[in-house]
A = this chain, B = another copy of it.
Amino acid sequence: MELFGLKVFALGGFGEIVAGDDLGELICEAAQSRLIDGDIVAVTSKIVSKAEGRTVLAVDREQAITDETVRVVAARAHPGGFTRIVENRQGLVMAAAGVDTSNAPEGVVLLLPVDPDASARAICAALRERTGLRLGVLVTDTAGRPWREGQTDIAIGAAGLAVLDDLRGTADVSGRRLDVTVAAVADEIAGAADLVKGKTSGNPVAVVRGLGRLVAELDAAGARALQRPSATDMFRLGTAEAHAEGYTEGYIAGFAAGRAAAALG
């Protein structure tokens, strides 16, 4: 018995995106009226950055990473260079602040869109207006994870769909309450889209069909809702960085205590 179905397919034929391009129009052209109600359109952040002119010269890459950084989470030197994992202006914790060389024109690097939720909303509004369909839009990017090898695509921008599927309070098949499960569906959709887009194939957009239940109003909470505030994050700093911070504080307290103990004794 086939119960639920999902179909994911890539849209190609975009050519090189340049600053000022209208992505809503280009996606509609690429889709050629193959979109249907309830579809979720996953757009690689690279083409959003290009359309928004978010490029800097490759020689300025390190400065660009510094400029995009709100807070350094962890940093490590390695034979190939220096990795900085930071929280960026968008609130995302990413290596190199999300500044990327791959799929960028020669001599430049791409910064992430300034406000990926706003980018998603603009594309979603344009697609909805042109097609008359209830559609959702994700802006996706590739990110590493602690504890796991390899990268997965995640949703950095979203409009017109529920990014979290809150199952708390619902019952499992035994009628027992699911207490802690909030499914990060937007990230799972971004990952599914990556499986068909590929990183080397030049297909920057994918359509995910079969999740109309998640499609919502245009101004539904965006992908920002997927960001855990650093204050409540148990991994807000790298292990070495937190250790060093603790060491310094401990040293100062220990030094004072040691001096006081010597004075007493």
**A178 neighbours in B (Cβ, 8 Å):** 102, 199-200
Knowing A34-B2, A237-B242, the reply to whether A227 touches B152 (Cβ < 8 A) is no
Are B164 and A150 interface neighbours, CB within 8 A?
yes
Per the bound structure, the CA–CA distance linking A196 and B2 in Å amounts to: 10
Q: How distant is A92 from chain B, measured CB to nearest CB, in Å?
A: 8
Q: Kindly report which residue of chain B lies nearest to residue A177, judged by CB atoms.
A: B102
Q: Is the CB of A199 within 8 A of B187?
A: no
CB of A9 to closest CB in B, whole Å: 5
Residue of B nearest to A6 (CB): B8
Partner-contacting stretch, out of A115-123, A130-138, A245-253? A245-253
Question: CB-CB contacts of A171-186 with B at 8 A, as 1s and 0s?
Answer: 1111010111111110
Asked if A9 meets B4 with Cβ closer than 8 Å, knowing A187-B148, A195-B211, A258-B258, the reply is yes
Contact B200 A173 (CB under 8 A): yes
How does the 8 Å CB contact mask read for A20-32 relative to B, with 1 for contact and 0 for none? 0000000000100
Q: Which residues of A are at the interface with B, using a C-beta cutoff of 8 A?
A: 1-13, 30, 34, 74, 76, 85, 92-93, 95, 101-106, 142, 145-154, 164, 167, 170-174, 176, 178-185, 187-189, 191-192, 194-203, 210-211, 225-228, 233-263
Q: Could you write out 15 A-B pairs with CB less than 8 Å apart?
A: A1-B30, A5-B7, A6-B196, A8-B8, A103-B176, A147-B227, A148-B184, A149-B164, A151-B181, A152-B188, A172-B199, A183-B199, A188-B191, A233-B239, A254-B256
